[in-house]
Structure 1
Amino acid sequence: MKTIFSPLQQKHQGQFEFYNGAVVEGYENTSRASFILSRIEEVGLGPILDPQPQSLDVARRIHKPAYVDFLESAWRLWREAGRPGTALPYAWPARGRYKDIAPEPIDALLGLYSIDTSTGFVEGTWEAIKASQDSALTAADLISEGEQACFALCRPPGHHAGTDFNGGYCFLNNAAIAAQRLLDAGASRVTILDIDYHHGNGTQEIFYERADVQVISLHADPRNEYPYFAGYADEQGSGKGEGFNLNIPLPEGTDWPQWDSALEFALGNVRQFGPDVVIVSLGVDTFEGDPISRFQLSHRHFPLIGGRLASLATKTLFVLEGGYAVEDVGINVAGVLSGYEDAMRR
């Protein structure tokens, strides 16, 4: 299996976030990608390739163009305002109580286009965002050209980014952009199967009224976990998209039998939809040792997940999302990918 990754994705580094009432170093850091790359090489998964340079055309269709422009200019505006450190929001518009305007100060823009304080900008953030989406698009193109499966090692991740907002370490929605690219290349239906611990609220929002992309997510119950305001079972899509969005919220402490049962239910819905390609939003923060999550999957379960996904016998694009136990994230990501490869060879 080919892995797509650019060293430019490591330029998003040294950022801070607010967590548990304190300013802390960002949990989404460069060591995540380093451990994954090292493990992929160790197990001999396949070649690691640089992405092809890509335009922002697809991103500007998935996201509002003004939002993409903001991402590209945020760090420059922050520095022009004379600010040091990480560019983080501190003020947000109240829902339904603000004018439809485009404010000029960077502090206002940070709040306008964000949902939390985890997604800060530093000097290399835009280069990393752009390279991350390039990795997703390059991997999608390889799938369209005939590859059975590819892994887009997307860092920063993407599934919390919606049409015009960032959050949860996510800026551009890499999986959504890849899905649109696959449709443009001739796929008639695409499924995004999100197995991250946290609900992919951005992915849901982007495709909520569409019938050509099925979005399925199994995740921690949002009554108790981020992103709190989306991911409930009664959110099933609307308009043309009604019935094409499936959320499977799970309780704190979910163990393998319970999680595996939810996955099998999700896979049954994928088979019923019959996609040409499945995009797996691959989060491994379901791991029992993850510092910000509360599920109980162990190392031995991640190859089993790969085997379950291979049972779909559908072209599969893996797109990295979360997982923050950095010394274990490489083991778990490579476990899923190797488990998939092993099952496909049988």
Structure 2
Amino acid sequence: MKIFHHPDQALHAPTHEFHNGALAPHAEVPGRIANILAALGPTQQPGDAGIDPIHAVHSPAYCAMLRDVPRLWREAGRAGEAIPYAFPVVGRRPLSLTRVDALLGAHAMDSVTPVTPDTWAATYGSAQAALAATRAVLAGERAAFALCRPPGHHAGPDYCGGYCYLNHAAIAAQSARDAGVARVAILDIDYHHGNGTQDIFWRRGDVFYASLHADPATDFPFYWGHADEHGEGDGFGTTRNLPLPRGTDGAAFRAAQDRALKAIADFDPGLLIVSFGADTWEGDPISAFRIATGDYRGIASDIAAFGWPTAIIMEGGYAVDALGTNVAAFLSGF
């Protein structure tokens, strides 16, 4: 299997997040990617496909914010990473904003996703890895893996959140559509619901989004991922959410995934994107499923059995020391 990774992904290194009422050490650390690389061996550096595939998903104004906020933060005399504190939850509309706090809050959904001077380079490199993996699959590879970091599935068309800045899975899916694939499916098997991916394709009938995740009644992102969310307009019926209770083990997860895979089969995609998060592992520090390392091969094998060309995009997973072993176990199922 071809594996793509960009060295700039290690540059993004926020120190803190504002979580549960206090500043806490940031859980999404560069060591995540180092541990995975040590377990997987050689990777390929992706070429640069440019900004256009990113702008096909994310607004230019939002991308400019990710690039400009670190400079504006310093010019405002601020130290550390840029963390928003005010959010336009009602009456959100285009405004010409100059204060950095207003600009940042207009494009964010939480206070756990700081923007650092290296955020843009890292997430841009991840987007290029996702695009390279997708191109490899469209060129005939059975499956390819994009080792993306920071993750992406919480990022919406013009907002960041949940440690995510660019939605690499959505960028990959849109690039496949632009390359002529009539129908693309995304299977999201991270512990948390991929609200950004759902939001991007909510009204689209050409991209099917299926997600298995912790019940948002108890877990982040809370406001998306409920079972009664099905899409709107042309996209009605192309969103399928399967929220699961805390404590879900490998067998229960595979049973739920089987329902998602059958729904995807009915959609008959020409390409599958898998948003894979290893934060479903039983020892993850911010999650509460009971999936063992030995379960991951079977979970992946169930997906591979359907025979779809598959681009696998790395999402979450915060038990750093076990991350590489869990990712390797999953990829072995392909």
Residues 160-213 of structure 1 show CA distances to partners (whole Å, capped at 9, x for unaligned) of: 000111000000100000001111112111100000000000000000100110
Distance 1:278 1:254 in 2: 24
- Look up the SS of the partner of 1:164 in the other structure: coil
Give the percent of matched residue pairs that are identical in Structure 1 and Structure 2. 47
Alignment of 1:191-270 (within 5 A): 191-270=185-264
Distance 2:117 2:109 in 1: 21
- Look up the SS of the partner of 1:337 in the other structure: helix
* Correspondence 1:86 to 2:91: no
Alignment of 1:26-45 (within 5 A): 26-41=26-41
- Look up the SS of the partner of 1:93 in the other structure: coil
Alignment of 1:65-84 (within 5 A): 65-84=60-79
Does the CA contact (< 8 Å) of 1:15 and 1:122 recur in 2? no
Distance 2:96 2:62 in 1: 11
* Correspondence 1:51 to 2:46: yes
Distance 1:20 1:151 in 2: 33
| Structure 1 residue 14 displacement after superposition | 3.6
* Correspondence 1:8 to 2:8: yes
AA of the residue aligned to 1:89 = P
**What stretches of structure 2 of length at least 5 have no aligned partner?**
none
| Structure 1 residue 99 displacement after superposition | 5.5
Distance 2:198 2:96 in 1: 25
Residues 276-316 of structure 1 show CA distances to partners (whole Å, capped at 9, x for unaligned) of: 11000001111110000010001110111111111110100
* Correspondence 1:169 to 2:169: no
- Look up the SS of the partner of 1:265 in the other structure: helix
Distance 1:267 1:302 in 2: 16
Equivalent residue, structure 2, for 1:104: 98
TM-score by length of structure 1 reads 0.94
- Look up the SS of the partner of 1:62 in the other structure: coil
Does the CA contact (< 8 Å) of 2:9 and 2:125 recur in 1? yes
User: Against the structure 1 CA distance between its residues 94 and 210, is the aligned structure 2 distance closer, same or farther, given a 3 Å change threshold?
Assistant: closer
Distance 2:284 2:128 in 1: 28
Distance 2:263 2:283 in 1: 30
Distance 1:99 1:149 in 2: 40
* Correspondence 1:291 to 2:285: yes
| Structure 1 residue 54 displacement after superposition | 2.2
- Look up the SS of the partner of 1:285 in the other structure: helix
| Structure 1 residue 94 displacement after superposition | 3.7
Residues 138-164 of structure 1 show CA distances to partners (whole Å, capped at 9, x for unaligned) of: 111111211111100111111000011
Count of aligned pairs: 334
Equivalent residue, structure 2, for 1:119: 113
Equivalent residue, structure 1, for 2:317: 323
TM-score by length of structure 2 reads 0.97
Does the CA contact (< 8 Å) of 1:285 and 1:293 recur in 2? yes
AA of the residue aligned to 2:79 = P
Distance 1:52 1:187 in 2: 21
| Structure 1 residue 123 displacement after superposition | 2.1
- Look up the SS of the partner of 1:48 in the other structure: coil
| Structure 1 residue 237 displacement after superposition | 0.7
Distance 1:310 1:331 in 2: 19
Equivalent residue, structure 2, for 1:314: 308
| Structure 1 residue 335 displacement after superposition | 0.7
Distance 1:200 1:338 in 2: 24
- Look up the SS of the partner of 2:158 in the other structure: coil
- Look up the SS of the partner of 1:79 in the other structure: helix
Does the CA contact (< 8 Å) of 2:14 and 2:114 recur in 1? no
Superposition CA RMSD, Å: 1.1
Runs of 4+ in 1 over 2 A off after TM superposition: 19-22
